[in-house]
Amino acid sequence: MSTYHDDRRFAYLARLGLFILTFALLSCGGSTTAPGGGATQLTLVVAPGSATVFVGGTTQYTVVATNSSGQVVTAPAVVWTSADPAVGTISTTGLATGVSPGQTIIVATAGSVVSTPATLVVDQLTLKVAPDTATVLVAGIAQYSVVATNSSGQVVPTPAIVWTSRDPAIGTISSAGIATGVSPGQTVVTATAGSVVSLPAVLNVRQTACDGIAGVREWGANLELFYQDDTTTKAGAKVYADHHFSVTTTLTAASPVSGKLEWTGSLLAGVSRHGSKYPVFLLETFDDQVSDPTEKIEFDGLTGPVPTPGVDGFRLEVDLSTCTFQFFAAPSARGILTKTEHAVNTLPGPDEGIQVFTEDIPFGLLQKGVAPLGAWRTLGLADSVENISSYPVGIAVPVNVDAYTPSGLFSQTAFFDPFNPAPKPHKADMYWTIVPKP
C-alpha cells in the first residue's frame, strides 16, 4: 500500500521527468535572433546551481546568458518556474521561498530557450525559546533568546526573528527579546522566522517578587527521614546502617545572599508520623572478622538531635529570580561508640579489647532539589513524601536533585574497602512540611 510520502515522491518524480523532457525539447535548436538579424544560439545558466533554505526562508536566483561563442550577453526577460511549488516557489524576480521540506528544480525560460536546471533544497527549521519560564516584577525585565536547529537537530545560525507577546497588557517583548512586565498576570512569548513559529515560553508578571515571600519572617518545618543499608565489602567486612530522624524547627529570616532569601533554624526532636519509636535513631555497625586483628565497632545513638559543628541544622533558600526553593538539613546524634579489637595470631599486634566512648555522629546531609514555590501562601511548600537517591561520601551531588549523603561513622568510603572503595547505591524516604507562620 502506498504511503503519503511514496505518493508525493512519485508525483515529484513525474513532474521532474516532465520538466526534463520539456527542457530537452525546448533546448534542441533553441535560439534567439541577434540584433543584426542572424540567428545566434543563446544559453541560459541559473546561479546558484544549488541552494538550501529553511521553510519560510528565501534565496535569490539569477540568470547569466551567453552566445554561441561563450560570450556573456545581456540576459533577455525570463520566466522563472519551480517544478514543485508545494516545496518551493519562485517569484518573477527569481526570489525563491521555501514552503515545505523537500527538493525542487528551478529553471528560467526565455522564449524557447530553457536554462540549465538549478536545485532548491528546503529544510525544516525549529526554534526553541529560552528560558521556558521567566518571572519578573511589574516594570522588571527578562532576556529571552532563541536557538535554531535543522531537521537533523544540528544548531544552525539564527535567522531574523520577530518576537511576540500574546498579551502585551501583561508583558511586552522588544525586537531584541527583552520582555518587560506591565501588569500582574501571565502571557506567552513566541519567536517567529518567516512561517516558522517557536513553542511558547511563559512570562509571569508579579506585583511583588514570588507573591511577596520576602515578607515571611518565620516558617515552621517538620522533616522525617528513613534510611537503611546492609552490605558486605569486597574485603569481607559487614556494614550495617539504620538512620531515622524526626525533627522540627522554626526557621527565621537571615540576610539575603546573591539574590536569594534564606531562613535557618536549629533542629529539635519531632514526633514521628510513620511509626518510629524514637525521634532520633542512628545505628551503625562494622564487623570485620576476616582481618588481623579482627574488629567490631558499633555506634548506638538514641538522644538528640545535637548540633552538627559548622553546619546549619536546617536552611531554606528561595531564588527570587525563578521563584523556586530548596532546603538542606544536617542533624547529628549523640550516642555510645563500642569498639572491640582482637589479634588473631600469636605475634605481637594490636589487641585493645573493648573500648567505650561517647560520640556525636552526623547523620549526613539531606537536600531537597530545586522546586517551584507554587501556591506557597495557601499550601505552604507542600506536604511531600519522596523516595530520594542516596550518595556515598565523596561524590559531588548536584543541588538541583533530591539527595541524602550519609556521613555517619561507617559511611566513609575507606571503611567499605580501602583497596577498592565502591559503596552500593541505596535509597532513602523523606517526609516533610514547611508552612509560613502568621
Same-domain check for residues 353 and 283 = yes
pTM score above 0.85: no
Strands 332-342 and 324-329: unpaired
Same structural domain, 116 and 237: no
Question: Are residues 99 and 48 located together in one domain of the fold?
Answer: yes
Average pLDDT over residues 216-233: 88
Q: Are residues 224 and 257 in the same domain?
A: yes
Of 123, 150, 177, the last residue of a domain is 123
Can you tell me the distance from the alpha carbon of 336 to that of 346, in angstroms, rounded to the nearest whole number? 31
Asked if 254 and 264 touch (Cβ cutoff 8 Å), the reply is: yes
**pLDDT over 60 (residue 24):** no
134/104 same-domain check: no
21 phi and psi angles, rounded to 5 deg: -60, -45
Cis, bond preceding 305 (omega within 30 deg of 0): yes
Q: How far apart are CA 226 and CA 213, in angstroms?
A: 31
Q: Does the pLDDT value for residue 27 go beyond 50?
A: no
Cross-strand partners of 343: none
pLDDT of 102? 93
The residue from 207, 237, 266 where one domain ends is: 207
> pLDDT tens digits, residue range 127-138?
999 999 998 888
The confidence band for 273, taking pLDDT boundaries of 50, 70 and 90, is: confident
Q: Is 6 helix (H, G, I), strand (E, B) or coil?
A: helix
Higher pLDDT, 177 or 310: 177
> What are 290's three cell numbers?
576476616
Query: Is residue 253 domain-shared with residue 135, that is, in the same domain?
Result: no
Angle 123-124-125 from CA coordinates, rounded to 5°: 115
- Which residues on neighbouring strands pair with residue 155, listed in sequence order? 149
Q: Span 245-273, mean pLDDT?
A: 85
- The answer to whether residues 198 and 218 belong to one domain is no
Task: Give the range among 91-105, 173-187, 234-248 with minimum mean pLDDT.
Answer: 234-248
CATH number, domain of 80, equals 2.60.40.1080
**Residues 59-91 pLDDT 10s:** 999 999 999 888 999 889 999 999 999 999 999
Residue 414, pLDDT > 80, answer: no
Sign of CA dihedral 125, 131, 133, 139: negative
Provide the mean pLDDT of the chain: 81
Instruction: Find, among 52, 50, 45, 120, the residue nearest to 86 by Cα.
Output: 120
Give the pLDDT band of residue 40 (cuts 50, 70, 90): low
Single residue among 207, 222, 250 that ends a domain in this structure: 207
Task: Note the pLDDT of residue 110.
Answer: 93
pLDDT of residue 418: 44
Top mean-pLDDT range of 125-134, 234-243, 295-304: 125-134
With 0-12 / 13-18 / 19 or more C-beta atoms within 10 angstroms meaning exposed / middle / buried, residue 266 is middle
300 and 402, same domain (yes or no): yes
Q: Is the pLDDT at 177 greater than 90, yes or no?
A: yes
Domain, as residue range, for 142: 126-207
- The mean-pLDDT minimum among 136-145, 183-192, 229-238, 338-347 falls in 338-347
Per-residue pLDDT at 108 exceeds 90: yes
How many domains, in total, are found in the chain? 3
pLDDT of residue 325: 93
Q: Which residue type occupies 16? A: L
* Residues 45 and 115 sit within 8 Å (Cβ to Cβ): yes
Is residue 22 domain-shared with residue 10, that is, in the same domain?
Answer: yes
Highest mean pLDDT, choosing among 225-239, 261-275, 313-327: 313-327
Mean pLDDT confidence for 370-399? 79
How far apart, in whole angstroms, are the C-alpha atoms of residue 2 and residue 181?
Answer: 53
Is pLDDT larger for residue 415 or for residue 343?
343
pLDDT for res 310: 61
Q: Are residues 409 and 326 in the same domain?
A: yes
Q: Is residue 183 located within the same domain as residue 80?
A: no
Question: Which of 66-80, 253-267, 334-348, 368-382 is modeled with the greatest confidence?
Answer: 66-80
Q: What percent of the chain has pLDDT over 70?
A: 81
Residues 105 and 169 in one domain: no
